[in-house]
Structure 1
Amino acid sequence: MNPYVLMILLSSLGLGTTLTFASSHWLLAWMGLEINTLAILPLMAQQHHPRAVEATTKYFLTQATAAAMILFAATTNAWVTGEWDINNLTHPLASSLIIMALALKVGLAPVHFWMPEVLQGLDLMTGLILSTWQKLAPFALIIQMAPNTSPTLLTALGLLSTLVGGWGGLNQTQLRKIMAYSSIAHMGWMLITLQYAPQLTLIALGLYIFMTSTAFLSLKMASATKINTLTAAWSKSPILAPTTALALLSLGGLPPLTGFMPKWLILQELTKQDLPTTATIMALAALLSLYFYLRLCYAMALTIYPNTTNASTPWRTCTTQSALPLSLMMIATLGLLPLTPAIMTLPT
């Protein structure tokens, strides 16, 4: 892609997200979401592959549906109350409709079906943008909407997303689909604590971005898109393979890695709110997610690369990719757990 076109598209991505962050009016927030969607579509379709075009079409139709629902609900609320302010969305129907539309935008269950299919048709760097940056603007609106939303709806969306994210990734062989179900599960963890401790949601979102970026950059460095290709990772790069395995375990929430921090704090908060059943279900769902991360680690560390293969052997090749972003993300993914007390004292 032409570097000038790429710069314009990435700038538009930033503009759309910033506009949604800064807006208190539903029309401005909707415009920011639309700019965000339209800016990523050319990045998704740049490969000119049928799978990429299909994924782009599915993404466009899904995001357009969610945007139409948001506009319809905001207009309904303005018709009833005379207010366009985001924080004054008091009509219960409009509030529930907008939460479902935003859930559709970020891929929360039960409106998650588009996400694994879309992510499977993209290259790893575009998938990274879709899994991290594209979540920020809709999630900022969800955080602002939380005080006016039914707690039962938020809890149901969070629990269902965590369970679907765990169950859905169990029988997958494509790494991008596994990362999609991982994203759905993490979104559920963020949503479940939103009504009780919004600062925990922000911490979980920040750490999720670090961990997911590390996972995608590691897979890109290893040129891996299927579990089978991970079996050659140790032979190709003896340093990248164990660090990638640790990053995946961090995504699963295994102590003493960074990913344990948000799950630990969220379970602690649910216990404080006298919700032991919810906390137990969340912890059991985390075990499901941990299982399919362990499958990936097993493929990398304990599986021998097959002797007969139709593909050319990706042996030790010199890569031109920059390792600095991956190194910084890897450090954050693996080593932030001791900073938990300091992070919890940050002003919110």
Structure 2
Amino acid sequence: MNITTMTIIYTTIITGTLITLISSHWLLMWIGLELSMMSIIPVLMNKANPRSTEAATKYFLTQATASMILLMSIITTMMYSGQWSIIHSNNPIVSLALTLSLIMKLGLAPFHFWVTEVTQGTSLMSGMILLTWQKIAPLSILMQTTPTINQPLIISSALMSAFLGGWGGLNQTQLRKIMAYSSIAHMGWMLVVINFMPSISLFNLMLYIMLTISLFTAFYTNNNLTTLSLSHVWSTAPPTIIIILLNLLSLGGLPPLMGFSPKWIIIQELVKNNNIMIPVLMTMAALLSLYFYIRLTYSTTLTLFPTTNNTKTKWCLYNKKTVTILAPMTMLSTMTLPLTPLLLTLN
């Protein structure tokens, strides 16, 4: 892909998401989603092979189905209200269709199967865009239509996503699939609190994006695709081990890393609203995710595989892939837990 084509495609992806974020007109919001969806398909197929073509096809079919359901809810809202602006609707059909379409776009359970397959079939950078930037627009629509969405369906889907995201990643060896299941579990955490305080969901999304970008960038610098290749990072890029260790433990939500903060705030907010069983179940689901994060940490940092010579590190440690964003992203996503009281006051 040449530089002109790549610039046009990425500009369209960013423009589509921004149109969805700033518009108060249902049709413009839908058009922004479609722009973002259509423009990311060439990104998914950047390296032309049967796996990427299959992944792009699965992504297109799922997102097109969700877009049709969303358009049906938009037209139904316009028929009953007579206007295209975003307003609260008491119509159960509108509420159900809107919630289902956005759940499908975000890849939450029970419509989560496409996330792992599409992420596994693409490159690391394409998977990173899919799991980070493409989540912003649907989640912004959910935040703007919080009074309209079906609350029991959202909470049920969030709980299922947290558990299935943990269970699905337990026996995985492919790093892209592990990150996809991690995305499903974190989306569950974001949606379980969206009815009570959407700003907490936004805070969780921003932190999740920083953590995911840091991990994908660390994988990209050493071209790690499996846990086996990740276990050899200590002999080629020793500093990367610390970055991967911090980001994985932060994703798992262990203090004193920053990933502990959103889980703590979400549990606190749910308890404030007299929900006791939901945070208990979400905490149990978080332990499942924490297990495969610690498994990755163990294979990366606590094992030394036998070498054929007397040296423990490879003689050539020079890596041509220099990513300047890795260090600041790691610092922001792991070392900023003391700023949590300030974030709470902003909410």
Alignment TM-score > 0.5, same fold: yes
Q: For residue 87 of structure 1, report the CA deviation from its aligned partner.
A: 2.6
Verify the 8 A CA contact 2:231 2:303 in the aligned structure 1: yes
Counterpart CA distance in 2 for 1:306 and 1:180 is: 31
Q: For residue 89 of structure 1, report the CA deviation from its aligned partner.
A: 3.5
Matched, 1:171 2:171: yes
**How big is each residue's C-alpha offset from its partner over 1:36-88, in whole Å with a ceiling of 9 and x where there is no partner?**
01111111101011111110111111111111111112112222332322233
> Which residue pairs with 1:319 in the alignment?
319
Counterpart CA distance in 1 for 2:252 and 2:54 is: 30
State TM-score, norm by structure 1: 0.95
User: 3-state SS of the aligned residue for 2:87?
Assistant: helix
> Which residue pairs with 1:147 in the alignment?
147
Counterpart CA distance in 2 for 1:151 and 1:64 is: 24
> Which residue pairs with 2:279 in the alignment?
279
State TM-score, norm by structure 2: 0.95
> Which residue pairs with 1:220 in the alignment?
220
**Which sits farther off after the overlay, 290-299 or 235-244?**
235-244
User: 3-state SS of the aligned residue for 1:88?
Assistant: coil
Structure 1, gaps ≥5 residues long: none
What pairs up with 1:121-160 in 2 under 5 angstroms?
Answer: 121-160=121-160
User: 3-state SS of the aligned residue for 2:238?
Assistant: coil
Counterpart CA distance in 1 for 2:205 and 2:57 is: 27
Counterpart CA distance in 2 for 1:33 and 1:224 is: 31
Counterpart CA distance in 1 for 2:144 and 2:306 is: 51
Counterpart CA distance in 2 for 1:61 and 1:287 is: 33
User: 3-state SS of the aligned residue for 2:48?
Assistant: coil
**How big is each residue's C-alpha offset from its partner over 1:261-287, in whole Å with a ceiling of 9 and x where there is no partner?**
000100111111111111110011000
Q: Once superposed, what is the RMSD of the aligned Cα atoms?
A: 1.6
Percent of pairs identical after alignment?
45
Verify the 8 A CA contact 1:102 1:138 in the aligned structure 2: yes
> Which residue pairs with 1:344 in the alignment?
344
Q: For residue 307 of structure 1, report the CA deviation from its aligned partner.
A: 5.6
Q: For residue 306 of structure 1, report the CA deviation from its aligned partner.
A: 5.9
**How big is each residue's C-alpha offset from its partner over 1:7-28, in whole Å with a ceiling of 9 and x where there is no partner?**
1111101110011111112111
Q: For residue 320 of structure 1, report the CA deviation from its aligned partner.
A: 2.3
For these two proteins, the number of residue pairs brought into alignment is 343
User: 3-state SS of the aligned residue for 1:324?
Assistant: coil
> Which residue pairs with 2:20 in the alignment?
20
**Which sits farther off after the overlay, 128-137 or 155-164?**
155-164
Q: For residue 303 of structure 1, report the CA deviation from its aligned partner.
A: 2.5
In structure 2, relative to structure 1, the CA distance for the partners of 1:107 and 1:316 (3 Å cut) is farther
In structure 2, relative to structure 1, the CA distance for the partners of 1:321 and 1:87 (3 Å cut) is farther
Counterpart CA distance in 1 for 2:272 and 2:88 is: 29
What pairs up with 1:291-330 in 2 under 5 angstroms?
Answer: 291-305=291-305, 316-330=316-330
What pairs up with 1:52-91 in 2 under 5 angstroms?
Answer: 52-91=52-91
Structure 2, gaps ≥5 residues long: none
**How big is each residue's C-alpha offset from its partner over 1:218-258, in whole Å with a ceiling of 9 and x where there is no partner?**
11112111011111011111111122111111011011001
Verify the 8 A CA contact 2:211 2:251 in the aligned structure 1: yes
